[in-house]
A and B are shown apart, each in its own frame.
Chain A
Amino acid sequence: EAGVVQSPRYKIIEKKQPVAFWCNPISGHNTLYWYRQNLGQGPELLIRYENEEAVDDSQLPKDRFSAERLKGVDSTLKIQPAELGDSAVYLCASSLTPGSPLFFGEGSRLTVL
Chain B
Amino acid sequence: NAGVTQTPKFQVLKTGQSMTLQCAQDMNHEYMSWYRQDPGMGLRLIHYSVGAGITDQGEVPNGYNVSRSTTEDFPLRLLSAAPSQTSVYFCASSPQGLAKNIQYFGAGTRLSVL
- Is B truly associated with A? no
Which residues of B line the A interface, CB within 8 A? Answer: none
Which residues of A line the B interface, CB within 8 A? Answer: none
